[in-house]
Structure 1
């Protein structure tokens, strides 16, 4: 780095970390900071390598691996790669240290966090899961502040700021944007649209449930389904259907246009990652959320329960995913229930619109915290 950045935002690997990191960066730009002064640090094998080149933010990717919970040869390289990345981060920061390092969690955040500790650069931890991940817990022990999405956070020095949600999501108006979004996605105005999002890598169990439902509703010419199956599953997906003699079905590997999806969908089906949960709330989208059963410490169930317990989303346990089609059929036939889900979700999402997260980062960076 030749010129010292204002902030380094770090974290990555999956869209569940990259998109919140971009949201933090965008929040700082909205406060008047030039994008060239907000740097991003991620990992070489993450989805950030696809997403960051299309943004105005300078970026750097470290060669690091996550620690696998199951036995894996990759665990043998975890420590040496992390140590080398830490040293590289120190070498990058030392001549031009940023005023603050903002960690959104995940193993990709750790080189920058460790370097910041070594050089005395303040760290802000941004935690948007109800139960913070391990990287966030480690970083929070010596962080200057923690920006959290939920009340009663176990992290030290926590301030509830709401979750980092991208500006393009916050700006979605599901009423005003509906027709234009559908046109851009190739979805008819006069059909009931269900969008299925299995995360950046896709979900096999969710896909199978959707495909089973697709077999059942194949002749329904009033239904459209947009299905992000995951790149690893795209070859197994049924062929697209144009809706000429029944359901319109759009299988895609990865969905890069989520603002359009939230505007276009009558119902969204997703997992329980924090980004999905908070985006559903921020946009007021009726949703059926299926928490990933193998998520660390079952944190996805905790995330979804935050909405479901308040009537702001339908939670369907993965063990009951075979019922997905029935749940969708019920919601489709109940306009009042969908309206209530949308209203309650939007109420839950108000906290994300406050701008408090960017202000907290500024207060730490400028020494006014």
Structure 2
């Protein structure tokens, strides 16, 4: 087995849903091969411009080439734009002397996949969603190996490896961390605890239903931690930050592992990262998929819901009355919560980052053989 310095180019960006697993994969590769040279390819418009350098990795950018869904001027300009981005990606691969390309999807991945195929550089794909995106459908056609976060994901040759995530989450012991997490978040130690987070995309309906249900939750002795997201604080009728008995709101927490440890039940959207993380840590959940898009959030949640680890409710049906009828009795039933926690943990995968690193090294070594 070769131990020469590995050059890996990782492509993905735009949203945290792409960047977080990418960084977890990069960290796992570096643990296995500390001398590895890792470069990340993104665009100048995504969150990667901040998150990738902060994680200690070099970032190179190429043009963003969105794929128009209908006839337009952008569609007519697509071939030239894509060709330019492929050339830019090829220059990055050549400069890096890439042994392997790893893509996690998003606009940036398609040009990198095409440039790698032209140079016969092995391609490794990770798909985070139950319904794969266009870039990874393209990349999978020529990939040496494909890893998927969800068993239900349909891609050629896919291996179910789970979602790469930060080790602070994947290795979390919720029971051991509960007391310190609740203290850090300003919560009571011995009350049933609901943690609410809508993430950055479309939490308005969740926020409205939860804030309307706060009197019922408090009357039942349930404390609520509301992670609103930056600039999305829940407000009262006078526009001030909402206050209520047994209710605490924060814009963010310093690592979601704290919120997971503090919670008896999580209420959230069903993004791929959230679904995978709560399964990995064995946390019961109520999931409210985004009502728009291609329906991928409901698909992401389906396996966990079927296993008994989470409840799913459509956004249009998620009301204060639904909370009263479903969330309150659940939080008062420790046995039911324990069953859900066990069902969730049984489906959770905690070593996806290590599995992906092994696949990457294997693909690179086949190239060198």
The TM tier, using the shorter chain, reads 0.7 to 0.9
The residue aligned with 2:28 is 27
Determine helix, strand or coil for the equivalent of 2:50.
helix
Q: 1:32-47 maps to which residues of 2 (within 5 A)?
A: 32-34=33-35, 37-47=37-47
What are the superposed Cα offsets for residues 93-113 of structure 1, whole Å, 9 maximum, x if unpaired? 213322111111122322322
Which of structures 1 and 2 has the bigger CA Rg? 2
| Counterpart-to-counterpart distance in 2, 1:78 and 1:255 | 40
TM-score w.r.t. length of structure 2: 0.86
| Counterpart-to-counterpart distance in 1, 2:220 and 2:311 | 25
Structure 1 residue 45: Cα displacement: 2.4
| Counterpart-to-counterpart distance in 2, 1:190 and 1:70 | 55
Q: Which runs of 5+ in 1 are unaligned?
A: none
| Counterpart-to-counterpart distance in 2, 1:208 and 1:79 | 44
Residue 167 (structure 1) aligned with residue 167 (structure 2):
yes
TM-score w.r.t. length of structure 1: 0.86
What are the superposed Cα offsets for residues 63-96 of structure 1, whole Å, 9 maximum, x if unpaired? 4154465899987876665443332222222133
Q: Which runs of 5+ in 2 are unaligned?
A: none
| Counterpart-to-counterpart distance in 2, 1:13 and 1:354 | 20
Stretch of structure 1 that moved more, 188-197 or 68-77? 68-77
The residue aligned with 1:280 is 278
* Alpha carbons 2:25, 2:354 under 8 Å: kept: no
What are the superposed Cα offsets for residues 139-172 of structure 1, whole Å, 9 maximum, x if unpaired? 1111111112334643122222222222121121
* Alpha carbons 1:206, 1:321 under 8 Å: kept: yes
Q: 1:264 to 1:72 in 2, by over 3 A?
A: farther
Q: 1:1-369 maps to which residues of 2 (within 5 A)?
A: 6-34=7-35, 37-64=37-64, 66-67=66-67, 81-151=81-151, 153-214=153-214, 216-217=216-217, 220=219, 222-231=221-230, 233-234=232-233, 239-240=240-241, 246-252=245-251, 254-296=252-294, 298-322=295-319, 323-326=321-324, 327-350=326-349, 352=351, 355-367=354-366
Determine helix, strand or coil for the equivalent of 1:126.
strand
Stretch of structure 1 that moved more, 152-161 or 130-139? 152-161
Structure 1 residue 340: Cα displacement: 0.8
What are the superposed Cα offsets for residues 153-201 of structure 1, whole Å, 9 maximum, x if unpaired? 4312222222222212112110111111222223332333222222333
| Counterpart-to-counterpart distance in 2, 1:79 and 1:198 | 37
What are the superposed Cα offsets for residues 185-227 of structure 1, whole Å, 9 maximum, x if unpaired? 233323332222223334222222222223654x559443332
Q: 1:225 to 1:72 in 2, by over 3 A?
A: farther
Stretch of structure 1 that moved more, 206-215 or 223-232? 223-232
Once superposed, what is the RMSD of the aligned Cα atoms?
3.0
